[in-house]
Structures are given as structure tokens and as C-alpha cells.
């Protein structure tokens, strides 16, 4: 089965790039069918580079999170995805989005959940002075980064690490976890419905 993926971003989309590169291999069992963003994200340029359609549902153009979510659902549904990936979408999605797509709605997070949930997982790990943090891939539910864990891996915090040096070491791990999960879902080795039960 070739999975149809919609990937939602807010930032540079480096994790998205790794998925796009992986799916250039004809054997890879998934294709990104559309890239969506909540703002004018730099990563939307990857759409042009890889010939993938993009759409933007600007958060600030809607009166509230619910109205934004309604339009986001409509835009994502147009692509009939098997899996929706939040890859650096820096917004909490409203419950209607979770209801529409979960458990086929997954999120990458730059910490070893349940440690350091929220928008500043890397910064919070550094501030806490821990000697290891990590990367996690989860099913999105109505909590903040509290959904079922699909995969996670530890990443050491090194002396002298800054938020950016640590994040740069975490991201390749996030990418690996994400690509492996996409492979496992496509090959029926991972059943998100079962995991989220």
C-alpha cells in the first residue's frame, strides 16, 4: 500500500524535506500529496522544489482556533490522506481536527515525552539541566503532547549545548523515527488504531 501523506508545518520543514527525499525512492511506500501551513512558512518552498502542491490556512485570518480548524479540516480532506503529519506545526489543533483525523494524525516532538511537552521542548530540557533528552513521535489527541507514543529515542545533552545545537542533534532522530513509522504503517507493522485504543 502506498500511503498518502499530508504534512503540516510552521517552520523550515527540515523534517518534511527528509520525508520528501525518502519518497523519491520508488520503493518507499508513501507519497506526500500536499504540504499545508498555518502561516507563510519557509518550508512551503519545498513544495515547488519537489513538485508537491501546497496550501496555507493562516491562523491569524480566522476569528478563533475553531474556525481555523474547520478550514484546516476542509483543506486537508481535499487530499484524502491516509496519514496527517504535524511536522513542526506550532499550533495546538482544536478538538475537531483531532476528531477528524486521529489516530491517523501524528506529531514529532523534540523531547522524550512525557518529559518536556509543549512548544519549547528543547529549551525546557536545557533549562532543567538534564544530561539526556530525546525525540518522540506520538498520536495526536486532545492533550498537549500527551498522546500515545509511537516511537522515541534518547539524545544526550552535551556540555556547551545551546538550544540550537541540541535541536540540530535531535532533528535527525525525529526524522529517523518518522520515516520508520511511515514504513511500518504502510507495511502493516504498526496499527495506529490499535496503539490509540
**From the annotation, which residues make up the binding site for (6R)-10-formyltetrahydrofolate?**
65, 90-93, 107
Residue pair 99/70 in contact (Cβ under 8 Å)? The answer is no
Does 174 help bind ligand GRF (rule: CB under 6 A)? Answer: yes
Q: Is 109 a catalytic residue?
A: yes
- Binding string, 142-171, against ligand GRF, x = CB under 6 A? -----------------------------x
* CA dist list (Å): 136 to 26, 83, 176: 27, 17, 11
Q: What is the DSSP secondary-structure string of 137-180?
A: EEE--SSSS-SPEEEEEEEEPPTT--HHHHHHHHHHHHHHHHHH
* CA dist list (Å): 103 to 80, 128, 140, 161: 15, 31, 7, 35
Could you tell me which stretch among 11-19, 62-70, 151-159, 178-186 binds ligand GRF (CB under 6 A)?
11-19
Does 102 help bind ligand GRF (rule: CB under 6 A)? Answer: no
Question: How near is the Cβ of 39 to ligand GRF at its closest, in Å?
Answer: 12
Q: Judged by CB under 6 A, which of 3, 15, 52, 157 binds ligand GRF?
A: 15
Residues 6, 25: Cα–Cα separation, whole Å: 18
Residue pair 171/134 in contact (Cβ under 8 Å)? The answer is no
Q: Judged by CB under 6 A, which of 14, 23, 102, 133 binds ligand GRF?
A: 14
128 forms beta bridges with none
Residues 58, 45: Cα–Cα separation, whole Å: 16
Residues of this chain, 17-46, that bind ligand GRF according to CB under 6 A: 43
Q: Judged by CB under 6 A, which of 36, 81, 88, 103 binds ligand GRF?
A: 88
Residues 18, 179: Cα–Cα separation, whole Å: 8
Does 73 help bind ligand GRF (rule: CB under 6 A)? Answer: no
Length in residues, the chain: 197
Which residue, 70 or 117, is less far from ligand GRF as judged by CB? 117
Could you tell me which stretch among 61-69, 104-112, 154-162, 176-184 binds ligand GRF (CB under 6 A)?
104-112
Does 109 help bind ligand GRF (rule: CB under 6 A)? Answer: yes
Binding site residues, ligand GRF, CB under 6 A: 9, 11-16, 43, 87-88, 108-110, 171, 174
Amino acid at each position: 500500500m502506498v500511503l498518502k501523506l499530508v504534512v503540516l508545518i510552521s517552520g523550515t520543514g527540515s523534517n518534511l524535506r527528509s520525508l520528501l527525499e525518502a519518497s523519491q525512492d520508488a520503493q518507499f511506500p508513501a507519497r506526500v500529496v500536499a504540504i499545508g501551513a498555518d502561516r507563510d512558512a519557509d518550508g512551503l518552498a519545498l513544495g515547488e522544489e519537489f513538485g508537491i502542491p501546497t496550501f496555507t490556512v493562516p491562523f491569524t485570518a480566522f476569528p478563533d482556533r475553531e474556525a481555523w480548524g474547520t478550514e484546516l479540516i476542509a483543506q486537508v480532506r481535499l487530499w484524502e490522506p491516509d496519514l496527517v503529519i504535524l511536522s513542526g506545526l506550532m499550533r495546538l489543533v482544536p478538538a475537531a481536527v483531532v476528531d477528524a483525523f486521529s489516530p491517523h494524525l501524528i506529531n514529532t516532538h523534540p523531547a522524550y515525552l512525557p518529559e518536556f511537552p509543549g512548544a519549547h521542548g528543547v529549551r525546557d530540557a536545557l533549562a532543567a539541566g538534564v544530561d539526556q533528552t530525546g525525540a518522540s513521535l506520538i498520536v495526536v489527541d486532545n492533550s498537549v503532547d500527551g498522546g500515545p507514543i509511537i516511537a522515541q529515542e534518547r539524545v544526550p545533552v552535551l556540555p556547551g549545548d545551546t538550544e540550537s545545537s541540541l535541536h540540530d542533534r535531535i532533528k535527525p532522530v525525529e526524522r529517523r523515527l518518522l520515516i520508520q513509522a511511515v514504513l511500518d504503517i504502510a507495511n502493516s507493522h504498526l496499527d495506529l488504531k490499535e496503539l490509540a485504543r
